[in-house]
Amino acid sequence: MLNKYARAFFTRVLTPFAAFLLRRGVSPDAVTLIGTAGVVAGALVFFPRGEFFWGTIVITLFVFSDLVDGNMARQAGISSRWGAFLDSTLDRVADSAIFGGLALWYAGKGDDNILCAVAIFCLASGQVVSYTKARGEAIGLPVAVNGLIERAERLVISLVAAGLSGLAAFGVPGIEILLPIALWIVAVGSAVTLGQRVVTVRRESAEADAAGSGDRHSGAGAT
Ligand SMILES: CCCCCCCC/C=C\CCCCCCCC(=O)OC[C@H](COP(=O)(O)O[C@@H]1[C@H](O)[C@H](OP(=O)(O)O)[C@@H](O)[C@H](O)[C@H]1O)OC(=O)CCCCCCC/C=C\CCCCCCCC
Ligand SMILES: Nc1ccn([C@@H]2O[C@H](COP(=O)(O)O)[C@@H](O)[C@H]2O)c(=O)n1
Ligand SMILES: [Mg+2]
Ligand SMILES: [Mg+2]
């Protein structure tokens, strides 16, 4: 949903910045790499220590690089398969660090095994949700579904809640409850999204096989 409705807005807002970086000789790949490194550092340095406010600030500063890199590539006319691969692969790395950082907090000082498990579920289910689309497309299907919760929703729900929960350290009472609520929402939403995508791939593959237009064995041996 955000990908559909918010992307146009952020494209407009970020285009001048993307153009500025291109003029300075920065490449889209460099933005992809530095943005991911910033997200990973913010998530793994701050979240395991329960410093959710500053962790979210650092992550937010870097996570928008994921919208800038593609914008730069398109402006410069250098969008590439390699860039698409790098972008998607490093998305998975960034997401692992965010939910891994939260899981580490609950496994340690946060001392809550259930929320640790929920954070791990968010990490794993988010990766599988993305994999369904990548694998479905790799076997030649359109995978014409996004589902309830895409990556942008997973990030916005989790980061807004983490940032606000972090205000507890500044004396805002009761606000830390937002992070567990958000993790449960992302976990349930990801499970629903996974179901939606699997059902779609099942239907599309049956239709393609019946029409004889799909190669039944296409990519079957790959993982
Ligand atoms: C009192 C202060 C407290 C501090 C609060 C701090 C708040 C900051 C909070 C949040 C900011 C979160 C920003 C998150 C931005 C996310 C941007 C982003 O990276 O989006 C990526 C997304 C997808 O891009 P791609 O096409 O490159 O990725 C594809 C995708 O990953 C697919 O995954 P799948 O969907 O299948 O799971 C993969 O399959 C595919 O491989 C991959 O290529 O881009 C978009 O979706 C574009 C839309 C982005 C919209 C961002 C909206 C941010 C909106 C609001 C932030 C509002 C903050 C308000 C805070 C208020 C707090 C009081
Ligand atoms: N280093 C990069 C990053 C991205 N691309 C291209 O942009 C597409 C992703 O766009 P976003 O707005 O979601 O970032 C990606 O599929 C590539 O075509 C690139 O070329 N190099
Ligand atoms: Mg990107
Ligand atoms: Mg991306």
**Which residues fall within 8 angstroms of residue 209, CB to CB, at 6 or more apart?**
216
Cα distance between residue 122 and residue 223, in whole Å: 22
Binding site feature residues: 29-32, 66, 69-70, 74, 80, 87, 91
Interval between CA 207 and ligand 3 midpoint (Å): 32
Per the listing, tokens 């497309």 go with 137
So what's the pLDDT on residue 8? 92
For position 219, what pLDDT does the model report? 53
Residues 197, 132 contacting (CB under 8 angstroms): yes
Position 223 scores a pLDDT of: 57
Fold designation for 8-212: Four Helix Bundle (Hemerythrin (Met), subunit A) (1.20.120)
For CA atoms 12, 14, 19, 20, give the dihedral sign: positive
Catalytic option among 91, 95, 112, 209: 91
87 CA to middle of ligand 3, Å? 5
Residue 218 confidence (pLDDT): 54
Give domain limits for the chain: 8-212
Q: Is 91 marked active-site?
A: yes
pLDDT along the chain (223 residues), means of 10: 87 96 98 98 98 98 97 97 98 98 98 98 98 96 95 97 98 96 98 98 96 61 54
